[in-house]
């Protein structure tokens, strides 16, 4: 089963463009954590994201796409980064999230990734074709 661990750092919603992780100790701890995920063979992907002030949003509710540049005043919880891990159970995913050297302002949300089996039967064939196309 694959799970996504979403890292939500409070305050990142208003971070200035070009903000970088600057706490060396924190960065090193995070690198060590990533290494442990990798060595356990569970890490599928992980990335850090630039702040929303460097991002953009596209809305579709007016019939035509509307593009707005960040920062987004109304945002309360934003993503700072994510991991995708491949584990045997939900409990194992939660256990990995607990081991993250998170700071006081950080929250991790653990979400299960949709697999082909989670979709209705009639769609699975085309999804399987697509997965082959994606090299998965």
Partner 1 sequence: MRVMVMVKATPESEAGVMPSKEILAEMGRFNEELVKSGVMLAGEGLHPTSKAVRINFSGKERMIVDGPFTETKELIAGFWILQVKSMEEAVEWMKRSPFQESAVELRPIFEIDDFGDAATPEIREQNDRLRQQTEGRG
Partner 2 sequence: MTATDTHRAIEAVWRIEQAKLVASLARQVRDVGLAEEFAQEALVAALKRWPETGVPEKPGAWLMATAKRRAIDHFRRNKLIDRKHAELGHEIETEEDPVAGLEAALDDHVGDDLLSLIFTACHPILSAEARAALTLKLLGGLTTGEIARAFLVPEPTVAQRIVRAKKTLAEANIPFEVPRGEEMAERLGSVLAVIYLIFNEGYSATAGDHWTRPQLCDEALRLGRIMAELAPAEPEVHGLVALMEIQASRIGARIDRNGEPILLPDQDRSRWNRLLINRGLAALERAERLGGGRGFYVLQAAIAACHARAASADDTDWTRIAGLYAVLGAEAPSPVIELNRAVAVSMAEGPAAGLEIVDRLVGDKALKTYHFLPSVRGDFLARLGRFDEARGEFEQAAALTQNAREKTLLTERAQSCARGEMPDR
Residues that bind partner 2 (CB under 8 A): 31, 34-35, 38-39, 41, 43-46, 64, 132-133, 135-136
**Residue 87, interface with partner 1 (CB under 8 A)?**
no
Q: Is 2 helix (H, G, I), strand (E, B) or coil?
A: strand
Cβ neighbours of 14 (radius 10 Å) = 14
| Cα–Cα distance measured from residue 73 to residue 44, given in angstroms and rounded to the nearest whole number | 33
The owner of tokens 């970088």 is: 20
**Residue 121, interface with partner 1 (CB under 8 A)?**
no
Query: Residue 35 or 59: which CB sits closer to partner 1?
Result: 59
| Cα–Cα distance measured from residue 101 to residue 28, given in angstroms and rounded to the nearest whole number | 10
Among 29, 43, 79, 87, binds partner 1 (CB under 8 A): 79
**Residue 29, interface with partner 1 (CB under 8 A)?**
no
Among 28, 35, 40, 57, binds partner 1 (CB under 8 A): 57
Partner interacting with residue 39 (select from partner 2, partner 1, none; CB below 5-8 Å by kind): partner 2
Q: Give the containing element (helix H, strand E) for 29.
A: helix 24-39
**Residue 88, interface with partner 1 (CB under 8 A)?**
no
Residue 3 burial (10 A CB sphere; 0-12, 13-18, 19+): buried
**Residue 34, interface with partner 1 (CB under 8 A)?**
no
């Amino acid at each position: 089963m694959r799970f996504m661990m979403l890292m939500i750092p409070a305050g990142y919603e208003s971070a200035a463009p070009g903000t970088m992780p600057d706490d060396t100790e924190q960065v090193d701890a995070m690198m060590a954590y990533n290494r442990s995920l990798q060595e356990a063979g569970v890490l599928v992907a992980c990335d850090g994201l630039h702040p929303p002030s460097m991002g953009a949003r596209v809305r579709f509710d007016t019939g035509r796409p509307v593009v707005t540049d960040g920062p987004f005043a109304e945002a309360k919880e934003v993503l700072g980064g994510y991991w995708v891990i491949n584990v045997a159970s939900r409990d194992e995913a939660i256990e990995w999230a607990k081991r993250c050297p998170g700071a006081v302002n950080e929250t991790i949300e653990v979400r299960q990734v949709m697999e082909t089996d989670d979709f209705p039967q009639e769609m699975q064939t085309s999804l399987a074709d697509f997965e082959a196309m994606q090299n998965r």
